[in-house]
Structure 1
C-alpha cells in the first residue's frame, strides 16, 4: 500500500522521541513491501540537528506552511492511508486538510496520548481538537488500556487501537563494550520527570560516590546540582544509543506524570534498552507488568534505597530476560505487522461504510 505520514520529525531526533519511533515503525513497514512518503514541517531547530536527512526506507520531503501541502494533494488523494502525528505544527489545520482530501484510510498517531488528552480537557488546541477525532478512521494511541475505551466513548473515535513504540532489533542489540557507568539515564529534560530523576539517580549518586552515573539529553537547566560522579552528555544521536546502553550496567526509565496517570504508556527507551540486553530500573505505573515481568525482566523502584539495592544485585539475567521479551513482542517488525493489519481492517470498514451509504442512497 501507499502510506503518507505527516509527522513531527523523521530527520532529527534532537529533543524529541518521535523520530526514533517513526524510524523503527516505518522502516519495518517498508520492509513488508509498502511505499511511504513522509512530510515534515521544516523547522530550524530540527534542520540544525538532522541525523537522518536521507532515509533509505521512505521518501522524506519538507514543507514550510499548511497551504504548501497543496503540492502533495494528489499524493494524499491517491494514498491508501494517510497518517497525521501528534505535535505536528498547526496540527489542527493539517488534520482538517487531510480529512478533506484523503481518499483512503485516515488515521492519527498519538505518540503523546496522555498529554494530548490533558490538553483537550484544558481546551488546548495546539495540534488536535475533539471535533477532529471522529473524522480519523483510526486513532493509533501510544497508550493502551482504559484510554482506548475513553477515546471511543468520550471523544467519538470510530476505532482506537494501541500502537506502542518499538525498536529496530537489528540496530539495538547487545554489544561487547566496557562498562562505563553503573546507572545511566537517557531523556530530554522535563519538569515533571525531574523529581523522579532526582530520587532515582541523583540521590543514589550522592549516596554512592564510588559508583558512576550518566544523564544524556538536552535542555537541562544550568542550575541543577549534579554530583561529581554524574557525567552529562548534552545530546546522544540514535546511532550511539546501543553503545550507550551496552556501556551501562543498569539504565533508568522515568515516566512523565500524565503517562503515569494513564498507565499503559511504555517509552521507546524501555524497548531500546531491553533490546540491548541492558537491565532496566523503572518507576512504577499501571500496565508495566504487561510489558515486562517485574523482578525477572525489569526492576521497579519507588525509593532511592530501591535503586541502591538494585545496583548491588545481579544484572545479567534481568537484561537477558528483557531482551527476550522485546524480541517476542516489541520489535519493529512485530509492530509493523500489527500496524499493517489495523490499516487493512480500517480500509475494509471504510469500504463497507461506503457500500452501505450507496445502498441507502439508491
Structure 2
C-alpha cells in the first residue's frame, strides 16, 4: 500500500506533463474507459530512468530485467492515479483559469529576473512555454484539490498534543554541549604538505602551548598555525557538539573534561596529530517544555492526518473506478486482485 502526499501528486504531474499522447500504440491500461498507451508508459519510464541516471543510478546486472519490470508497473500505477486525480479535479470544477496560470508563470519569470533567464530555464527543463503552462495548470489544480481535502482535517486537540509529547519526550531533550576552539598541528598526511613527523608535531604543539600560557591570543595562533582548514579561519572554533557527535574519542574526552576557559596544557594526540583544545562554553542539557514545542507538535500531527486523508481519498477514487491494468494481468507471478479494479 502506498501513501500519497501532496508533494507526491505534484511530482507525479511534473513528470507526466512531458508525456505525449500515443495515438495508435498498444493500450496498457484503461481508466474508466480512457486508454493509457504503451507510448505514454515508455516515455514516462524513460524520463524516470534518465532522472535516475543523473543521480548515478542505472538498471544493470542480472536483476536489471526484473527491476525494469517493477519500474514499469510502478510508473503505470502512477499514470493510472494521475488519470483519477485529473478526472476528480474536473468533476469538482477545480480547473484553474487561464489568468491563474499566467499569473503563476509571471511569478516564475519574476523570480528568474529576466526573459533571457526564463528561456534558459525552459531550455534546461526541455519544455516550451505552452508546456510549462500545461504543467502549471495541473499543478494549480492539484493544489486546489489538496486544499479542499486538507480543509476537512481538524486541528489536533490539546489532549492529542499532550499525549504525543508525553510519549515522545526523549526527542525534546537536548544533551549537554561543549563549544571549543582548537589548534591542530598535523602529522604526515594531515600536516598540509609539511609532512611532519610525530616528534616534530609534538614539539611545535608544546611551543604553542607556551605561547598560550604567556597570554598570546588563541584565535590568532589558530589562524597562524592550525592545520585544520575547516576551523582555522574562525580562530579554531567549532560549533557546539554533544558526546557521540563523531569527534575522535581522545578529542571528545578532553573537551568534556575541561572547565570554562581552560585549555589542554598537554597537547591531545589523535590520528590527525596534536591538538591544543580550549573550552569556550558549556551549554547545559535542556528539556523543551510542552509550551515551547506545542506548535511544532500540532503542525506535525495535522500533517500526518492530512497525509492519511489524502491516502484514503486516493484509495476511494481507486475503489470507485473501472481500471484495467494489463501489466498486472500479464505478470508471471500469481494473480492478485488489483485493489483499484472493480469486478
TM-score range, shorter chain: under 0.3
TM-score by length of 2: 0.25
TM-score normalized by the length of structure 1: 0.24
Structure with greater helix percent: 2
Bigger RCO of structures 1 and 2 (CA < 8 A, at least 6 apart): 2
